[in-house]
A and B are shown apart, each in its own frame.
Chain A
């Protein structure tokens, strides 16, 4: 069964492709939704097309599926409109599926299930990556604020951190916010650093 993934985020396509390979599908192609991608998809004659729900090129693809003579209809969105739970999960994960060769539902359902899991896994990875990035940036801010306090008030590192933490607790704010305010204030006054 030939599966085409239309995706411009390389990482998501890889995550999905790996999952499909593990599940035993081996005829998988990734196409970038750029320029004349529709003609490319058409030449590949896929059985199933998977695409990110938010991709602006979905209209272009649907138009191709509607008018194409090379591909047999019918087109199924989310495979079967009667399965509400599955559609909900697919939409939440951001998957839209197009079945282009009138395959039987039971052959497509596992692909869609797998796609939903992999799209979700990708979303989690993305969230974790963002979190890690934020954590790193936060730590740099706090380090900088500590350095300012250590220089200006002649404090040890643990005491400088303690002061930031106490201030944050008293004001009901996050330590990084207090550190940020301190850096801003310090740069305005020009003191310390």
Chain B
């Protein structure tokens, strides 16, 4: 047994790690998986960077930020596996939501209209709305900025973004310190169940197959322990398959509800797993089948083009200086080569390429793979824009041209 310690934050999308440990997938690969719970992303990052754990459940943009040395000491990070796709939601207080479409299902179904309504609501609101984000370098914060930016809202000027760990969001809503927040599940479902907020947008409808959490290692540890990394990735891939099976979801919700993991009721964790989210207290659930994915459509595969999309957004919001060096470092965080090495012989369908034009699939598409078959779901951005990873500069130029704030 090789011991591997992994730091995680209490979120539904830690499911694959929890299942790998609790359902014996890690053990069968000879890995003794120790899961270390943290309460802030800073702690997860420090434990990884300073070698207290070998791997971490971490926000994909934070893995890039650590590598690029943004706001802390730089440390090269390698992410060979995506732990999930999608899985976050924007929830706003009932008072703010009252200025939007009265039908919550219509709000999430039409993010274009909701973005415009949101922009109008800001003007009508009694003060600048305060929105909680889980980290400056979080997938959700970048999606929120992208969505607001589309409607001409400058996220750094027209709203107040406040950083709070996901587990404190509901408390802050109750204390009226926030008007809304964007976070991973189950925190938006909990806020809805307590009547503190209504879900008004789903990350999955802003970018249909959006990158979320990754499994991250320090690059030097990853390079020094190829065998352990491969076994861990095989265990996680099997665990992810188990998590995506509809018959296992209730058991998974109960596992995650344990005190050592999320420590929240299983019935509030289940909606995101089965894809039936309650958007407003008292309403019936809405059908949201893609709200969180673990395995299907090669979820684990780290597309280097998605690392580059994150990089493009970091530049767009002035968080990093564009440079060929930064671009290469950013793309290299997503290690699709390691994924191929670890899972190439396992029968998991393997994409032929490591880059794709993000946002170009409007309907499911079967793609060429080395073995078996692989269908990729639609990966549209809600505004219909496509991201060509070979030309970050002209992608960014388009935002500058269309944005009223320059």
Residues of A within 8 A of B (CB): 35-36, 53-60, 62-63, 65-67, 75-78, 81, 87-88, 91, 96
Asked if A59 and B134 make an inter-chain contact with CB atoms under 8 angstroms apart, the answer reads yes
User: Which chain B residues numbered 136 to 185 have a C-beta less than 8 Å away from chain A?
Assistant: 136, 162-165, 167-168, 175, 177
Residue contacts A-B, CB under 8 angstroms, 6 given: A36-B177, A55-B40, A56-B39, A58-B43, A62-B42, A81-B73
Establish whether residues A63 and B163, one from each chain, have CB atoms under 8 Å apart when the complex forms.
yes
Among A54, A62, A63, A96, contact of B39 (Cβ-Cβ < 8 Å): A54
From B47, B50, B72, B167, contact of A75 by CB (8 A): B72
* Dominant secondary structure at the A interface: mixed
Contact (A91, B135) CB under 8 Å given A56-B165, A62-B42, A63-B163: no
Whether A66 lies near B73 (C-beta < 8 A) is no
**Which residue on chain A has the smallest CB distance to residue B156?**
A67
Query: Which residues does chain B contribute within 8 Å of A76, judged by CB atoms?
Result: 73
The 3 closest A-B pairs by CB, nearest first: A63-B163, A56-B39, A81-B73
Whether the pair B177, A91 counts as a contact (CB closer than 8 A) is no
Report the interface size for chain B: residues with CB under 8 A from the other chain: 24
Asked whether B41 is an interface residue with its Cβ less than 8 Å from the other chain, the reply is yes
* Residues of A close to B71: CB separation below 8 A: 62, 65-66, 75
Q: How far is the CA of A190 from the CA of B72 in the complex (A)?
A: 64
A59 adjacent to B50 (CB under 8 Å): no
B168 contacts A56, CB within 8 Å?
yes
Residues in A whose Cβ lies below 8 Å from that of B135 = 59, 63
Instruction: With both chains docked as a complex, state the minimum distance between the C-beta of B74 and any C-beta of chain A, in angstroms.
Output: 9
B164 CB to nearest A CB, Å: 6
B38: nearest chain-A partner, CB-CB: A54
A31 to chain B, nearest CB (A): 16
Q: Contact: B175 with A59, CB < 8 Å? A: no
Q: Considering the chains assembled together, what is the distance between the CA atoms of A75 and B43 in angstroms?
A: 16
* A53/B43 in contact, CB under 8 A: yes
